Amino acid sequence: MATLVVPNPVPTLLEDAEKLRKAVQGWGTDEKALISVLGHRNADQRKLIRQAYEEHYKENLIKRLESELSGDFEKAVYRWILDPVDRDAVLAHVALKSFNVNFKVIIEIACVLNPDDLLAVKRAYQKRYNSSLEEDVASHTTGDIRKILVALVSTYRYDGKEVKSALASSEANTLHDAIEGKAFNHEEVIRILSTRSKAQLNATFNRYKDVHGAALTKKLLDDPADELTAALRTAVRCISNPIKYFEKVIRNALNKPGTDEDALTRVIVQHAEKDLKEIKEFYYKRNSVPLDKAIAKETSGDYEAFLLTLLGTDGY
């Protein structure tokens, strides 16, 4: 469930556009007013506000905000204001263009979204960058990492619930053999993770645990320095339990000396309208500290206020 709080009744588009206009006009910016509007509107509403703003004031709201804001707050607002598929396309592009490709972002998009949502992101990516996500992933990576990433972003999985249990057994064994043999680049592992449906994969992971006494991810822990193992592990975690996976991304981001704001922003903006409530609950269960308190401790100012607003806590 979402954590985003939308007021009822919601102000008209013109009222919202006007409030934003006032917030960015003149000397200085009224960040509080920006947050009070944008932090309380869903994707459809934000889109209509952008359109209303542009029609009425003949300027692009996103560009105006970019020129008014800065730092982590600007990044968070920019990511938030976009349509979800555009946001994922942008996040993928940023991940590919960074000096060390952030392959986790690519795997999250490829493995957490359902097949049609992944396709929508791939279409948005093509529209924005005039190239396919597949080709850009392939040309920014090499070796084994490339094999797994290209396979994961390319595939259009079957999305049905039907599970073949004999197949789950045999492929649990295939995974086990490949992992015990330390052949992490084994074509079979990549084939299974990238082509099977999520329902089928979860049956295979369960079967693996039943037969081999430990979760597949535990077996993939052995060599944390190995990038491919880490990628496979990320894929398995994103497929089997995204809530648990994202809780850990947030936890690592907050615990990192200096805080990993990019990761923190990414998870909050991507999930505030989807399942951030579950992630928040899981965070509390795991850390015995409410997520809003933990975020308040590690962040400050408008950035803090904005994240807390998206988290359903009043930011100011």
Q: Are 168 and 204 in contact (CB under 8 A)?
A: yes
Environment class of residue 309 by beta-carbon count within 10 Å: exposed (0-12), middle (13-18) or buried (19+)? buried
Residue 275 CB, nearest distance to a second copy (Å)?
25
Nearer to a second copy, 107 or 311 (CB): 107
Q: Is 296 annotated among the ligand-binding residues?
A: yes
Q: Is 39 annotated among the ligand-binding residues?
A: no
Q: Is 28 annotated among the ligand-binding residues?
A: yes
The one-letter amino acid code at 69 reads L
Q: What is the binding site for a second copy (CB under 8 A)?
A: 119, 122, 126, 130-132, 134-135, 138, 146-147, 150-151, 154-160, 162, 187, 191, 194-197
Residue 267 CB, nearest distance to a second copy (Å)?
26
Q: Is 298 annotated among the ligand-binding residues?
A: yes
Nearer to a second copy, 146 or 176 (CB): 146
Nearer to a second copy, 61 or 133 (CB): 133
Q: Is 299 annotated among the ligand-binding residues?
A: yes
Residue 215 CB, nearest distance to a second copy (Å)?
23
Nearer to a second copy, 49 or 96 (CB): 96
Nearer to a second copy, 104 or 147 (CB): 147
Residue 163 CB, nearest distance to a second copy (Å)?
10
Residue 31 CB, nearest distance to a second copy (Å)?
38
Binding residues for Ca(2+): 26, 28, 68, 256, 258, 296, 298-299, 304
Binding residues: 26, 28, 68, 256, 258, 296, 298-299, 304
